Amino acid sequence: MTPFAYHLARDPADALAALTAPGGNTPLGAASFLAGGTNLLDLMKENVARPMRLVDLNQLALARIEETPAGGLLLGALARNADTAYHPLVRSRYPLLSAAILAGASPQIRNMASNGGNLLQRTRCYYFYDTGTPCNKRSPGSGCAARGGLTRLHAILGASEHCIATHPSDMCVALAALEAVVHLRSARGERQLAFADFHRLPGDTPQHDNTMAADELITHIELPPARYAAHSAYLKLRDRASYAFALVSVAAALALDEGGRIVSARLALGGVAHKPWRQPEAEAVLAGKPPEAAHFAAAAAVLLAGARGESVNDFKIPMARRAIVRALEVAAAGTPGPACGEEER
Partner 1 sequence: MNDLIQDLQSPVADAGTGFVRVGMPVSRVDGRAKVTGEARYAAEHPAHDLAYGVVVGSTIARGSIAGFRLREALAVPGVVEIITHENRPRMRSFDLFYKDMTAPAGAPFRPLYDGEIHFSGQPVALVVAETFEAARYAASLVAVDYLPQQHETNLMAHLARSHKPKPLKAGFSPPPDERGDAEAALLAAPVRIEAEYYSGVEHHNPLELFASTVIRGEDGHLTIYDKTQSSQNSRWYVSRVFGLGKDKVTVRNPYVGGAFGSGLRPQYQLPLAVMAALQLRRSVRVVLTRQQMFSLGHRPETLQRIKLGADHDGRLRAIVHEAVAETSRYEDYVEVVVNWSGQLYACDNVKLLYRLVALDQSSPMDMRAPGAAHGVHALEVAMDELAWALRLDPLELRLRNYAEQDQMKGLPFSSKALRDCYEQGARRFGWARRPLAPRSMRAGSELVGWGMATGTWDAMQMFARAGAVLHADGRLVVSSAATDIGTGTYTAMCTLAADALGLRLEQVMFQLGDSTLPVAPIEGGSSHVATVGSAVAGVCEKLRKRLFRMARRLDNSPFAKARFDEVEFAGGGLRLRRQPSVAMSVEEVMAAAGEARLEEKYLMLPKVLKQKQYLRATHSAVFCEVRVDEAFGTVRVTRVVSAVAAGRIISAKTARSQVSGAVVWGISQALHEETHADHRLGRFMNHNLAEYHVTVNADVGDIDVIFVDEDDRIVSAIGAKGVGEIGIVGVAAAVCNAIFHATGRRVRSTPMTPEKVMAPEGDVSVSAAL
Count of CA atoms in the C-beta half-sphere (13 A) of 182: 24
Query: Which of 187, 194, 214, 293 touches partner 1 by CB under 8 A?
Result: 293
Candidate list 242, 280, 284, 345; residue touching partner 1; CB under 8 A: 242
* Smallest distance from partner 1 to CB 225, Å: 29
Count residues binding partner 1 (CB under 8 A): 38
- Would you count residue 290 as binding partner 1 (CB under 8 A)? no
**Between 37 and 149, CB nearer to partner 1:** 149
**For residue 197, how many other CB atoms are within 10 A of its CB?**
12
3-class SS of residue 185 = strand
The phi and psi torsions of 282 (rounded to 5 degrees) equal: -70, -35
Rounded least distance, CB 240 to partner 1, Å: 5
Give the C-alpha separation, 115 to 172, whole Å.
10
Decide if residue 307 touches partner 1 (CB under 8 A): no
Q: Which residue among 132, 141, 189, 337 contacts partner 1 (CB under 8 A)? A: 132
- Cα separation, 97 vs 84, in Å, equals 9
Sign of the dihedral through C-alpha 112, 115, 118, 120: negative
| 262 belongs to the binding site for partner 1 (CB under 8 A) | no
Residues in the chain: 345
Cβ atoms < 10 Å from Cβ of 143: 13
Q: Are 41 and 4 in contact (CB under 8 A)?
A: no
Q: 39 vs 84, which CB is nearer to partner 1?
A: 39
Q: Which is nearer to partner 1, 87 or 137 (CB)?
A: 137
- Contact set with partner 1 (CB under 8 A): 1-3, 46-47, 124, 126-127, 129-130, 132-133, 145, 148-150, 152, 237, 239-245, 247, 293, 315, 318-319, 322-323, 325-326, 329-330, 333, 341
